[in-house]
């Protein structure tokens, strides 16, 4: 059942910039939806429209069958976690958590009970009397989460809440958020530009580019079957290799190499995409590259090189590679593991 629904939502700023263009999306109850995209793609604007911090130029947003376009942010039954947490610096943690409840006019006992419950859940009980300035980054993050949870909203909105944490903490908090969200079963929207966060957190992803949703799907679907050239480029590290070429009688032909295809396509100009892990060293392969650069990551090695027509190809090998710069290697493409995009429309063809 759709719980949070966007219908042709459009945002045009007074200066004429179109930040979000006729976006429709439905998010079911308890689902964690991730908006992912490069900075300036409109994902935050979309989130802020759901929160009510940004006017909606056109379209409709429904939460639990209620149109909330014109509803005051505080009455939308939505809680938001901000990128820099936006904790109230002059209030201690208890007051930070209780401020919203107090404004709702709840009784003192009720507030105390709710705050204590949340503080216990997030293990921030011992900090209740401290001010945000006296907390570490991770603790502040918890308080920010707590402030959202304590209001018991119908939906959580997260605006890049992990980007201010250091790498190690980010991983931890990511897992905590996921657990907490599942445990509480609250519909959530999470905005990030970090694809690892997007892949690991989301039940589904919405990949957004220039105000348009390019693809919606489960992380694995998006990874394995990117719907557009942009999605293929954006999701996956190292990036997918793209080679310009043509389809000629069921064969991909480029200046550097050819590849037979087992699907039926018209002869046309295309962009051919290959994930680095779908290439294997094989003397009978079709791509020959001259190694230029090697990145050893421990578990994997990433090898970059030029093919015959100077396309920069990246390939991933398990473990520690023995290759060196200027070695010449031949790579074969895993069976069927290629992505073909129309050169004009950039849409997926296979």
Partner 1 sequence: MNSRILQFSAHFILIIGVLIMVVPIWIAFASSTHENTAIITEGMKWGIGDKFFENYNEVLNRKGGFSQEITATSMFINSFIMAFGIATVKVIISAMSAYAIVYFRFRLATPIFWLIFITLLVPLEVRILPSYQIVSDLNLTNSYTGLVLPLVASATATFFFRQFYMSVPDELLEAAKLDGANSWKFFVDFLLPLSKTMIAAMFIFMFVYGYSQYLWPLIMTTDEKYWTVVMGMKIIFQESYEGGNLPRVAERFSYIILSMIPPVLVVVVLQRWFIKGLIQTEK
Residues that bind partner 1 (CB under 8 A): 51-53, 73-75, 78-80, 82-84, 86-90, 99-100, 103-104, 131-133, 147, 151
d(CA 241, CA 321): 20
Beta bridge partners of 260: 251
Of 100 and 238, CB closest to partner 1: 100
CA distance 88 to 99: 9
The backbone torsions φ and ψ at residue 162, rounded to the nearest 5 degrees and listed phi first, read: -100, -5
The least CB distance from residue 86 to partner 1, in Å, is 4
**Min dist. Cβ of residue 154 to partner 1 (A):** 13
We find the least distance from the C-beta atom of residue 79 to partner 1, in angstroms, to be 7
Which DSSP string do the residues of 283-327 spell out, in sequence order?
TT-SEEEEEEEEEE-SSEEEEEEE-TT--EEEEEEES-----TT-
Question: Minimum distance from CB of 185 to partner 1 (Å)?
Answer: 21
For residue 344, the SS3 value is coil
The Cα-based distances of 274 to 135, 242, 297, 308, 315 in angstroms read: 46, 7, 21, 16, 9
CB 89, min distance to partner 1, A: 4
Angle between helices 137-149 and 167-184 (to 10 degrees): 20
Cα–Cα distance, 244 to 268 (Å, whole number): 11
CA distance linking residue 27 with residue 55, whole number of Å: 21
Put the strands of the sheet holding 155-159 in their side by side order. 78-81, 155-159, 187-192, 32-36, 204-209, 212-217
What's the CA gap between 58 and 19, in Å, rounded? 12
Closest CA to 91 of 78, 100, 104: 100
Taking the complex as a whole, the smallest distance from the CB of residue 99 to partner 1 amounts, in Å, to 5
Shortest separation between residue 98's beta carbon and partner 1, angstroms? 10
Nearer to partner 1 (CB atom), residue 132 or residue 236 = 132
Output 6 or 143, the one with its CB closest to partner 1: 143
Is 73 or 138 the residue whose CB approaches partner 1 more closely? Answer: 73
Minimum CB distance to partner 1 smaller for 41 or for 87? 87
Q: What are phi and psi of 100, to 5 degrees?
A: -65, -40
Q: Which is nearer to partner 1, 115 or 333 (CB)?
A: 115
Burial of 39 (C-beta count, 10 Å sphere; 0-12/13-18/19+):
exposed
Of the two residues 73 and 285, which places its CB atom closer to partner 1 in the complex?
Answer: 73
Closest CB to partner 1 among residues 135, 206: 135
Q: How many residues does the chain have?
A: 350
CB of 270 to partner 1, least distance (A): 45
Q: In this complex, which beta carbon is closest to partner 1, that of residue 99 or of residue 306?
A: 99
* Minimum separation from the CB atom of position 80 to partner 1 (A): 6
């Amino acid at each position: 059942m759709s719980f949070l629904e966007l219908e042709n939502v459009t945002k045009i700023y007074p200066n004429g910039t179109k930040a979000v263009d006729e976006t429709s999306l439905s998010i079911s109850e308890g689902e964690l939806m991730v908006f992912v995209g490069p900075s300036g793609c409109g994902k935050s604007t979309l989130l802020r429209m759901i929160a009510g911090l940004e006017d909606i130029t056109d379209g409709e947003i429904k939460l639990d069958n209620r149109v909330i376009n014109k509803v005051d942010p505080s009455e939308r039954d939505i809680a938001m976690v901000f990128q820099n947490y936006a904790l109230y610096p002059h209030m201690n943690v208890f007051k930070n958590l209780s401020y919203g409840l107090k404004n709702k006019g709840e009784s003192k006992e009720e507030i105390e009970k709710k705050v204590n419950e949340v503080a216990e859940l997030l293990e921030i009980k011992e900090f209740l009397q401290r001010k945000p300035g006296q907390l570490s980054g991770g603790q502040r993050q918890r308080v920010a989460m707590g402030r959202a949870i304590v209001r018991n909203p119908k939906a959580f909105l997260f605006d890049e809440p992990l980007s201010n944490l250091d790498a190690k903490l980010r991983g931890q908090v990511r897992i905590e958020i996921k657990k907490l969200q599942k445990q509480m079963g609250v519909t959530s929207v999470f905005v990030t530009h970090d694809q690892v966060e997007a892949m690991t957190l989301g039940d589904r992803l919405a990949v957004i580019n220039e105000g348009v949703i390019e693809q919606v799907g489960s992380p694995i679907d998006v990874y394995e079957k990117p719907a557009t050239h942009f999605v293929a480029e954006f999701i996956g590290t190292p990036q997918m290799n793209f080679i310009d070429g043509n389809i000629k009688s069921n064969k991909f032909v480029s200046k550097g190499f050819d590849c037979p295809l087992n699907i039926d396509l018209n002869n046309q100009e295309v962009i051919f995409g290959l994930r680095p892990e779908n290439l294997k060293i094989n003397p009978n392969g079709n791509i020959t590259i001259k190694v230029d650069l090697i990145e050893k990551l421990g578990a994997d090695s990433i090898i970059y090189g030029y093919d015959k027509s100077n396309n920069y190809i990246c390939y991933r090998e398990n473990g520690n590679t023995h290759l060196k710069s200027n070695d010449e290697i031949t790579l074969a493409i895993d069976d069927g593991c290629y992505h073909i995009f129309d050169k004009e429309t950039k849409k997926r063809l296979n």
